[in-house]
Structure 1
C-alpha cells in the first residue's frame, strides 16, 4: 500500500512530522520553515524528508509542484503564527498581520489535499469575540473544505503535559472529520468510568523525567548515555535513531539568589507561594508537580518552569521529554537569544507534541 503524502508548513523543529512519521503510513514530501536553525534541527532528525528554509510567500504554484515532484499531496499540516489578526467586519483583509495564515490557505488551495490539519493557540477561539475564528472558517470554506475544530488537551493523548491546542481538520469531498478519541484520562476525572473505559491514566512529570540524569544547575552535557527505561512512557520515547544516546541535557547556571528562590518553591507553586523576601514582580515562574502532567511548556522554560526535585530551570531534554520527543531527537542552536535564529528552547516550546500529532495522524488516515 502506498504511503499517504504530506506537506508540513511552518514545520519548525519537526514535532508535527515526527508524529506523522510515528504513525507509520505517511510520507512527507516537503517541509518548510523560515528559520535556519529550526530547519537544521528538522533536517538532522529527518534526513529523508526534503526540508527547505524558505519564505512561504516565495512558494508559487510552479515551485510547489516542482518541490513535491508533481505528486498528489493528500494531507497538509501546519500551524502558522496567528498573533494580532486584523479584521474588516467579519473578513480577514490583506493586512500584514494576516499574511502567514493567508499563505497557508493559498498553499492548501494550490495543492488541494484531501485533508488539512491546522494547529494553533487556544486563544484563537476567543480572539476578538470569536470573529477571527469565524473569518478563518470562512477562508477555508471558500476553497471547498468541510471543517471541524476543537481544543485538544495533549495530556489526553499520552503527552506528559496539559497543553491545550486548537486543532482544525478540513476535508474535501463533502466529508466532515471529527477529532481523535482520547487515549488517556485524569484519574480525578469523575466522568470517567474506570471499569468500562480502556483509557490509560495521564502520564505524569515523574513518569517522564524519573530516569534522566539528575544534574544540578550549571551541569550536564549535550550528549550523554541514556539510562534504562522505568515505565511504558520512557520505553516509548527511548528512540531508535541512535539507541543508547541522550541529547541536550544541559542545565543553565543560576546565581545564589535564584537558587534560594527556586529552593523555596513548593511543587505546583509559583512566586506567590514564596516568603515575602523572596518574591519578585515576575509571577509566571512555576515549579512542576511530579504527580501530574506538566503545565504548558513555553519558550522560556529555563527561567519559568522549575524542575520538581532540583532548584533550577528545566533543560532542553527535560522539556523535550514533556513534549514527547524521543531522547535521540537532537536540537541545535543557542540556549540564549543572542543570535537571530530560534534557540533550542524556542524550537521545543513552539513544537506540536509528537504523540498528539501521532494521534491526529492515526485518526485521519482512516478517512483517506
Structure 2
C-alpha cells in the first residue's frame, strides 16, 4: 500500500458507520472529512477512522469554508423515501438531501464522486433531476454513469442491489464490470457464500447482552466501544418461535410451517413475502441484510445450519449482529458504538464494504 501522504483524499457524506470508507480505505484512499447526523453511527465511524475529521450533525450546517478539497467524494443520501420498504413518498424531505451532496461537490471540486442508493432510486424523479444538474446545472462539468449493481457480483456474500452513480470531470468512467457470477464463465469467480463469511463463527453465542461499557465521542457519552465478537450475542425466543424455526430448512420460509404454527396474517396471505421466517443457505449468498435482521419475521435471517434428519444438528436462531456485520463485509476487528438496535441499524444501512472496495479499485485506474 502507498504511503499515507500519497493516498487519494476522499470525503464521505451520510457516512453512517463507515461501510463505504472501509472499502475505499482498503484501496488506499484517505478520508479527510466525513459527515453523519446520527450520533451512534458517527461514533462508530470515529472509533475506526478517527474523530478529528468526523463531523457529527446536520450536513446543511457544514459551511463551505469547512469543506476541504478532495479528489473523491462518496456517499449515500438517505434512501427511506425511495426504498421499497419505506413510504415511497416523493415529497419525503430526505429525498432532497442529494442536493446537499451536490453542494459539497461544487465546493470541494473532486475529480470523481460516487452516489449510492437503493435500487428504486434509479426510477425516481429525483434521479432525473440529478442528471438534469449534470446536463445544464451546477455539476455540468461532470459526466455521469449509472446503473444497478448486485453486491454478489463483486465478491460480497450478499444479494444486495444498489443504484450507483459515478460523476467524473476527467472523462467518462463506466461502472465496474462484475468479478463474480452465480454461474461463472471466463475470468469470473463464483459468488461468495454465507459459509465463507460466518462458517467459522461459534454457532452458540455465550451471552444475550452487550458488555457494560461506555465511551465518549463529540463530548457525549455513548455505549461502546465493542469489539467484533462483543456483538455476537443471541436472543431469547419463545418456545413457539423455536418450534417454528425447527420446521424451516435452508432456503425455506413461512410456507414450510404447519397450519398450527402460522400466524393469522400468514394464514390469510397465501402469496408474497416469501423470504419472511426464512433460513439462509450455507452455499449461497444471503439476501439483503436489512436493519431488523434480528427479527426472523422480517426476512431470511435464520442461521443456515439445519439437518433434515438430526434435530440436534440444527441451529434455531437468527443471525447475530456480528454475523450480520461479516455478511456486510465489515472487518472482524471493527469497533462498534451504540445500543443493540442502533448497531443493527448501522449494519443494515451500510454499503457492503466489498462493493465499495470494488468501486474504489476501479476508480484508481482513472484517477492515476
TMscore range, shorter length? 0.7 to 0.9
Say if 2:157 is the partner of 1:160: yes
Is the alpha carbon distance of 1:83 and 1:212 closer, same or farther for their aligned partners in structure 2, counting shifts above 3 Å?
A: closer
| Candidates 232, 236, 252, aligned match of 1:253 | 236
The 2-side partners of 1:198 and 1:49 are apart by 42
Judged with a 3 Å threshold, the aligned counterparts in structure 2 of structure 1 residues 253 and 3 are, in CA distance, closer, same or farther, namely same
Spell out, residue by residue over 1:236-257, the C-alpha distance to the aligned partner (whole angstroms, 9 max, x if none). xxxxxxxx97341111221111
> 1:83 & 1:245 partners in 2: Cα distance?
28
Please show how residues 220-235 of structure 1 align to structure 2 within 5 Å. none
Alpha-carbon shift at residue 218 of structure 1 (Å): 5.8
> Do 2:321 and 2:344's aligned partners in 1 also have CA atoms closer than 8 Å?
yes
Shift of 1:291: 1.4
**Equivalent residues in 2 for 1:166-245 (5 A)?**
166-173=163-170, 175-186=171-182, 189=183, 192-193=184-185, 197-215=186-204, 219=208
CA contact (8 A) 2:78 2:94 kept: no
Alignment partner of 1:293 out of 285, 288, 291:
285
Deviation at 1:98, TM superposition (A): 3.7
Q: Is the 8 A contact 1:82 1:101 kept in 2?
A: no
Residues 96 and 126, structure 2, Cα contact 8 Å, conserved in 1: no
- d(CA) in 2 for partners of 1:245, 1:260: 30
Contact 1:105/1:140 (8 A) holds in 2: no
- Which residue number corresponds to residue 51 of structure 1? 54
Asked whether the equivalents of residues 5 and 75 of structure 1 are also in contact (C-alpha less than 8 Å), the reply is yes
How far off is 1:96 after superposition? Answer: 3.1
Which digits, 9 at most, give the CA deviation of each residue in 1:21-71, with x for residues without a partner?
A: 1112x111011100000011111111276111020000121222xxx3xxx
* Deviates most, 294-303 or 175-184: 175-184
Offset at residue 219 of structure 1 (A): 4.6
Which runs of no fewer than 5 residues in structure 2 stay unpaired? Answer: 83-89, 213-226, 267-272, 306-314
Aligned twin of 1:318: 323
8 Å contact from structure 1 (residues 108, 116) kept in 2: yes
Query: Do the aligned partners of 1:222 and 1:250 also contact (CA within 8 Å) in 2?
Result: no
1:18 corresponds to: 22
Q: Which residue does the alignment assign to 2:354? A: 355
Please point out which of 25, 28, 39 is paired with 2:42: 39
Instruction: Check 1:210–1:84 CA distance in 2 against 1; reply closer, same or farther (3 A cut).
Output: closer
Query: Given that residues 228 and 335 in structure 2 are in contact (C-alpha distance below 8 angstroms), is that contact kept between their aligned partners in structure 1?
Result: no
The answer to which of 30-39 and 1-10 deviates more is 1-10
| C-alpha distance in structure 2 between counterparts of 1:182 and 1:96, whole Å | 34
Worse-matched range after superposition: 346-355 or 306-315: 306-315
Scaled by the length of structure 2, what TM-score is found?
Answer: 0.80
Which residue number corresponds to residue 102 of structure 1?
Answer: 99
| Deviation per residue, 1:174-197 (Å, 9 max, x gap) | x110111222221xx3xx43xxx2
Provide the TM-score with structure 1 as the length reference.
0.80
Q: Which residue of 2 aligns with 1:136?
A: 130
Q: Does structure 2 retain, via aligned residues, the 8 Å contact 1:204–1:293?
A: yes
**1-side partners of 2:240 and 2:338: how far apart?**
28
Following the alignment from structure 2 to structure 1, what is the Cα–Cα distance between the partners of residues 291 and 318? 12
Structure 1 counterpart of 2:117:
120
How many residues in Structure 1 have an aligned counterpart in Structure 2? Answer: 317
**5+ residue gaps, structure 1:** 86-92, 224-243, 337-342
Root mean square deviation of aligned Cα: 2.3
When residues 170 and 298 of structure 1 are mapped into structure 2, their CA distance, relative to the original with a 3 A threshold, is same
Paired residue for 1:269, among 232, 238, 252?
A: 252
Given that residues 205 and 232 in structure 2 are in contact (C-alpha distance below 8 angstroms), is that contact kept between their aligned partners in structure 1?
A: no
